[in-house]
Amino acid sequence: MILDTNALSAFADNDLDLLSILPSDRPWALPVIVIGEYRFGLLGSREKDAREEWLDRLISVVTVLEITERTASFYATIRHQLQVDQRKIPPNDSWIAALAMEHQWPVASRDGHFDVIHGIRRIAW
C-alpha cells in the first residue's frame, strides 16, 4: 500500500482508523513526493525537529518509491486520461497515482480524486 500525504500525517498522529487499514502482512511505501510534501508542511510547525526525526526514522525502515523513467510513462498515461475525461487533480497526486499504477499497489488517501483514475484503487479510512 502506498501512503498519500494525508495518510502519512494520520500515521504520524497515530490515527487508529488509519492504522486499522494498514496491512501488517504486506509492505507499504512512501513516494518521494509524499516525503517532500510532508517536509514542506513541517517547515512552519512548532514540532518541526521532533517530526523530522520521526520521519527520518520511518524512512529508514519503509520502502521509498522514487520517480523513474518508467514512472513517467504511467504519469503521462494518467494525465492524458484525465485530460480526455476533462478531470483535474493536483499534479503531485498524479505522480503518486503513477507510482501506484507502476507498482500495482493501492493508495491510502482521503482524497477522492484518486477514484477518477482508471486502474487505481484508493483505500479510505
Report the alpha-carbon distance of residue 84 to residue 81 in Å, rounded.
5
Nearest to 93, CA basis, from 37, 13, 17: 37
Rounded CA gap, 111 and 8, in Å?
Answer: 13
Domain count, the chain: 1
CATH value at residue 118: 3.40.50.1010
pLDDT tens digits, residue range 52-94? 999 999 999 999 999 999 999 999 999 999 999 999 999 999 9
Confidence of residue 108 (pLDDT cuts 50, 70, 90): very high
For residue 10, the enclosing domain spans: 2-123
- d(CA 115, CA 39) in angstroms, rounded, equals 26
Question: Rounded to two decimals, what is the model's pTM?
Answer: 0.94
Number of H helices and E strands in the chain, helices first, is 6, 5
